[in-house]
Amino acid sequence: SQTIHQWPATLVQPVGSPLSLECTVEGTSNPNLYWYRQAAGRGLQLLFYSVGIGQISSEVPQNLSASRPQDRQFILSSKKLLLSDSGFYLCAWSLSGPRLFFGSGTQLSVL
Amino acid sequence: QKEVEQDPGPLSVPEGAIVSLNCTYSNSAFQYFMWYRQYSRKGPELLMYTYSSGNKEDGRFTAQVDKSSKYISLFIRDSQPSDSATYLCAMSEVGGGTSYGKLTFGQGTILTVHP
């Protein structure tokens, strides 16, 4: 069966520090991968998606970037975090249908 | 105006009650409609999805879509304390591939079912 791993679960970082969040999917090949962010009291916002290795599409301009170095690995990065980057970050995957499967999320607090 | 509007609640009901959760939307291109359940500090899990208008039932859950009114609902029958969570509606346009995962979410309704 397919599983998605996302880490760390919680992260506290100072303003201006770098960020790297990692997500891996097991049990499937060539998944579509997504990074969503959920701000307090708000719905999920799509940040990036990827249809294959090295292929990244950005949905909103921001201080973040994404990379997909391997088929089932998706990384969210920042060179310098802002206070506004705080939130709950979720990685997700899908295949050809409308079912989207989420990881357990990373709660990022930028102080 | 947001593309998807969802009453954030919170909604508190007694065990055994029928719960009605709703979303309205403005984008007529939405064709897939989904409901996710999210427990605190966890990733959302897909409960149900429907294509275009109509009803779909799965156990105690029923999803309804009325595209003419741009209105979707999720009904929970015989609600249980374990149903206490945040419920998110989500929608996507038809297109295949990554389009399915490019979801537009409501802000979520916090539901508490008390014994």
| Domain range summary for chain A, segments of one domain joined by + | 3-104
Q: Write out the H or E segment, with its range, that includes residue B51.
A: strand B45-51
- Enumerate chain A positions whose Cβ falls within 8 A of a Cβ in B: 6, 32, 34, 41-46, 49, 51, 57, 59, 88, 90, 92-94, 96-105, 107
Distances (CA, A) of A110 to A19, A23, A78, A90: 10, 20, 12, 16
Cα separation, B78 vs A25, whole angstroms: 35
Cα separation, B18 vs A77, whole angstroms: 43
Tell me the pLDDT band of A87, cut-offs 50, 70 and 90. Answer: very high
Give the minimum alpha-carbon distance from A61 to chain B in angstroms, rounded to a whole number. 16
Q: Would you say B16 and B79 are in contact if contact means Cβ atoms under 8 Å apart?
A: yes
Percent of chain A having pLDDT more than 70?
98
Instruction: For A28-61, write each residue's pLDDT tens digit.
Output: 889 999 999 998 767 899 999 999 999 999 888 6
Q: Do A98 and B100 touch (CB under 8 A)?
A: yes
Q: Which residues of B63-90 are buried (b: 16+ CB within 10 A; e: fewer)?
A: bbbeeeebebbbbbeebeeebbbbbbbb
Cα separation, B61 vs B77, whole angstroms: 7
Provide the pLDDT for residue B5: 93
Question: Which has the closest alpha carbon to A52: A71, A28, A29, A34?
Answer: A71
The topology under which CATH files domain A3-104 is Immunoglobulin-like (2.60.40)
Q: Do B32 and A98 touch (CB under 8 A)?
A: yes
The number of angstroms, rounded, from the C-alpha of A17 to the middle of its chain's C-alpha atoms is 18
Q: Could you give all domains of chain B from N- to C-terminal order, each with its CATH number?
A: 4-114 (2.60.40.10)
Tell me the pLDDT band of A2, cut-offs 50, 70 and 90. Answer: confident
Q: Write out the H or E segment, with its range, that includes residue B96.
A: none
**Set of chain A residues whose Cβ sits within 8 Å of the Cβ of B100:** 32, 94, 96-100
Instruction: For B24-79, write each residue's pLDDT tens digit.
Output: 999 998 989 999 999 988 999 999 989 888 899 999 999 999 999 999 999 999 99
**Set of chain A residues whose Cβ sits within 8 Å of the Cβ of B46:** 99-101
Q: Would you say A79 and A17 are in contact if contact means Cβ atoms under 8 Å apart?
A: no
Kindly report whether the peptide bond that precedes residue B44 is cis, defined as omega within 30 degrees of 0: no
